Amino acid sequence: MVNRLRELRKEKKLTQKYLAQKLDVAKLTISRWERGIHQIKLDKAEMLSSIFGVSIPYLLGIDAENSTNLPAYKTHMLNINNILIDLLRNADKLTAQNLSDIKREARNLYENLVWLQYEAERIEK
């Protein structure tokens, strides 16, 4: 059984280095997971499923179809995460005006993220 990590990472145009930094693991660990040399631990699988917006069984190659039913707040958090990934990926192409606009939007995203975190904690209690 082969996991879908490499496929999902390439689909999002993320590097192993970037993903390793997000998960606080070595780049070599990502490579070993992708090649099936090491198993992905549950806590990291949960983080990866959130980053890619897929179910853990789909990520690990257990299910053929992605049947994730994320709560609304997690879907919003995933969308914010994906926006930030796109911004970082294209950072070298930005103008001064773009950067000013991004700073403003980043503040708005941060406020939304704080609110979503509050809502998530409230719902999970």
d(CA 3, CA 111): 35
Kindly report the CATH number assigned to the domain that includes residue 45. 1.10.260.40
- CA–chain centroid gap for 104, Å, is 22
Domain boundaries, position 113: 72-124
Q: Which of 59, 90, 105 is the last residue of a domain?
A: 59
- For the chain, residues with pLDDT lower than 70 are 1, 67-73, 75, 82
Whole-structure pTM over 0.85, yes or no?
A: no
Residue 66, domain member (yes or no):
no
Give residue 95's pLDDT: 84
Do 38 and 77 lie in a common domain? no
Do 46 and 77 lie in a common domain? no
Do 33 and 76 lie in a common domain? no
